[in-house]
Structure 1
């Protein structure tokens, strides 16, 4: 009798545990047992316009799928650097990420063409290129490396900012140590200006500036503000040397696991988020500049043609190459 009672009790406990686990899974899925959730990681703060764009994409995907397809977003480098996240996409341990074309170029060299200094004439030309068939070709290049480019996000124009010495002309950069992304195009540009390119991860840049490991860095205004780099580097030169797009990417393994209809919904949500985010970027760039002025940042307006002339020397390295051909196509778009 006691043994039967023990079996009954054990069975009751196991049954209760299974019911609890099932309920937990049901709640996590929003009560929909067929809900599919993609995992997306990136290194930006949640206030950044690109993160907000991805949140919009998530919302639209849930609306289009009736809640059956969603995205969990891990921000602030919680799952590693951009390079680490790209590697995770390739091995299938992560579904999606956001990465700069400069970092994607580590795996897909053609993307370096989008990272060249002053390759875009202005913001209008930037989006005419990215929205064109050529822009779609750039997203397609990633297929060769197990990645799928879904859309471009605006990452603005990048400017130099320094902790001590102000930059009024290219000559002022000579001898300075400037933090850059680990990108050949970026390092070539800094070297052309006579400075020393110093690759440092985004998460370590604040400390590097504060401790004098580097004299300055370069980025767009919203990132300069949200990363609080202005606290340790208050001189910002508006030279707008590069406009390097961000890309929303899904791993090819994850893409292949989706049904045809799920792929269409994800592609539509991504496209809509790109158009939402580029409008938001313009708004947030103005807000960031106003906030930075309030924080005591010294904005330095310069003759960009002087910087453009120096940077032009970099293009000779790409003559006769595939990247050189892509640069000509970019510049050929009216």
Structure 2
């Protein structure tokens, strides 16, 4: 082989090795949920909500605050509308470190953190004040860290409102008013048992099919928060909305512990502060949207009922007494005792 050919071959080999190393470093950055670009740490955050949702707006606020706190050295790259996968898929990406953060319902991580099942139980919280006192207190802070053994670290909670019953024809003023009605529920054992205990017939139906099911009389009613009721125009079919608030299941902002451990202590502090501020910001947005949704429903002819929540809670008390998970039962007792 000539000297020219040898030099070319050697140069080619060096180029291939350099490209390989560069690509490996690129992949490494991808595996830690983001990467470093021009001296800036970029963290990938994905969720399934649209860009008008209060949670997404809170994440944009968090990105702004994180940039201000870090003087532009740490930022978020936000992927909305499930472009990086479903809630479960995003959680799995957190576990392998390819995604930094995601939003999930507390109910969706029961399989990872069994004690989260407490949020799906009915009438656990006396009211909204009690709910947020618990989440912002010692119990809530402990729960944020419960999933660390599964590579999931909670940063903050977002408000997802309370779930309430709404019906086509029969007003729900007391628990007995539910007797014999077919009520759409999530495909959840707890939700099914709740409706059954109240005397109604639980009917699991996909959310996207619910409007048609209501219109066609497949079910007599459903249950959800006020913004979901109005956004999906269920007020066109259901003219009775009862504020019984049978469950309050928060959304959670989760972070991969694999990514968390790559952050400096200062970066962790900035991120926690920005997350906390985004939670406060989102709660105010949600409060306004809930009030606006109820007002819109009233304008569409819906009657909104204030009910005796204690009467509903008393009827489902046997459900709470039958909780067989010792950790959930202990947590339930602590929540009841909290202010």
TM-score normalized by structure 1? 0.81
Partner of residue 63 from structure 2, selected from 49, 52, 58: 58
The alpha-carbon deviation at position 232 of structure 1 amounts to 4.2
Separation in 2, partners of 1:120, 1:232: 30
The alpha-carbon deviation at position 137 of structure 1 amounts to 0.8
1:268 corresponds to: 273
1:114 corresponds to: 119
Cα deviation, 1:225-263, whole Å, max 9, x if unaligned, reads 234333443431211111221111112223233333322
Separation in 2, partners of 1:171, 1:293: 24
The alpha-carbon deviation at position 149 of structure 1 amounts to 0.6
User: Would the alpha carbon gap of residues 211 and 76 (structure 1) be closer, same or farther in structure 2, given more than 3 Å must change?
Assistant: farther
Partner of residue 255 from structure 2, selected from 244, 250, 274: 250
Separation in 1, partners of 2:236, 2:93: 33
Unaligned runs of 5+ in 2: 1-33
SS in 2 for 1:250: strand
The alpha-carbon deviation at position 215 of structure 1 amounts to 3.7
User: Would the alpha carbon gap of residues 291 and 111 (structure 1) be closer, same or farther in structure 2, given more than 3 Å must change?
Assistant: same
1:302 corresponds to: 307
Separation in 1, partners of 2:84, 2:270: 26
1:158 corresponds to: 163
The 5 A counterparts of 1:254-333 are 254-318=259-323, 321-333=326-338
TM-score normalized by structure 2? 0.79
User: Would the alpha carbon gap of residues 118 and 245 (structure 1) be closer, same or farther in structure 2, given more than 3 Å must change?
Assistant: same
Cα deviation, 1:158-178, whole Å, max 9, x if unaligned, reads 111234544333233344443
The alpha-carbon deviation at position 60 of structure 1 amounts to 0.9
Partner of residue 172 from structure 1, selected from 161, 177, 185: 177
Partner of residue 48 from structure 1, selected from 53, 61, 75: 53
User: Would the alpha carbon gap of residues 329 and 178 (structure 1) be closer, same or farther in structure 2, given more than 3 Å must change?
Assistant: same
Alpha carbons 1:32, 1:68 under 8 Å: kept: no
2:128 corresponds to: 123
> Aligned residue pairs: how many?
305
Separation in 1, partners of 2:42, 2:196: 44
| 1:87 equivalenced with 2:67 (yes/no) | no
2:9 corresponds to: none
SS in 1 for 2:58: helix
The 5 A counterparts of 1:232-251 are 232-251=237-256
2:76 corresponds to: 71
